Chain A
């Protein structure tokens, strides 16, 4: 039996899902040479960024991955945002002809919604109040709702890291 509580998985921004009415969503170089980012262009509107948590799951209870926390690196540019609000959803897949069921997971954020808006580099750590073993019929999506406000700032997403226990 392998039981390692320090396993992490990098999730590149190319896997992120970003929906915005008019803001341009583009691949861009990161602020630091050699890094990559997905850039949400300036627009005075609300955008929703969803990060799929790609870690192994398992059909057996208490095996596979126990999701503990997720870190998101992003850069607010140009102007202050009104807020970034994070929601962690567990999606239980539907059977054939059935719909999925979504449950919001209780968690804490290292940076408050109203404190993550400044023009700066931000590392948001979302920690599950109760870490969860990931069943093979479930997956997790971390959603960041960006309220731009009148400044219409830009935002570069550099990537995310999922921290979990791996048990084989």
Chain B
């Protein structure tokens, strides 16, 4: 049995889902990096990170999701807030809808203060109780960017931290 508590998976922004706002692919501020750029506008944009790590149909095997990190930048001005929510999606059987629930998490940067400041950010979302991922479910980490008229946003990528057991 392999049990490694230090695994991580990079999730590029190209795998993420962006709703509301004008988002474009662009080069990052640092040469050689990539980013999704949101144009300035007063609105709330939602960025959803699909957590792409292995699951397992046997209990207590596969991946135990512990935390998710998102790298982004509030450019030009501070945002109003940046708030994370984690969704657990249990896939539906044929003919049935999926069921969503919301595991308890904490984010290390305060939504309307440190997370929204005009600067580059690495926000860490930690599950209160890490979860083993069943093959009939997946996780989506949603970040709501509440933006005023002046702020632009760059999203660079995410990392999921987990235990791998095989």
* A positions within 8 Å CB-CB of B: 1-2, 14-19, 48, 50, 52-60, 63-64, 87, 89, 91, 93-102, 104, 136, 139, 141, 143, 168
Of the candidates A48, A54, A95, A102, the one whose C-beta lies within 8 Å of that of B30 is A102
Query: Which of chain B's residues 17-55 have a Cβ closer than 8 Å to chain A?
Result: 25-34, 52
Bound-state Cα–Cα, A55 to B85, Å = 25
Is B12's CB under 8 angstroms from A100's CB?
no
* B positions within 8 Å CB-CB of A: 2, 4, 6-12, 14-15, 25-34, 52, 71, 109, 114, 117, 119-123, 156-157, 159, 161, 164, 166
Is A18's CB under 8 angstroms from B25's CB?
yes
Of the candidates A1, A18, A19, A94, the one whose C-beta lies within 8 Å of that of B2 is A1
A residues in contact with B11, CB < 8 Å? 54
Bound-state Cα–Cα, A165 to B66, Å = 24
Of the candidates A19, A50, A56, A99, the one whose C-beta lies within 8 Å of that of B29 is A99
Bound-state Cα–Cα, A63 to B7, Å = 9
Is A54's CB under 8 angstroms from B120's CB?
no
Bound-state Cα–Cα, A139 to B27, Å = 16
Is B120's CB under 8 angstroms from A94's CB?
yes
Bound-state Cα–Cα, A64 to B27, Å = 28
B residues in contact with A104, CB < 8 Å? 32
User: Contacts A17-B14, A54-B11, A141-B33 hold; do A100 and B71 have CB atoms under 8 A apart?
Assistant: yes
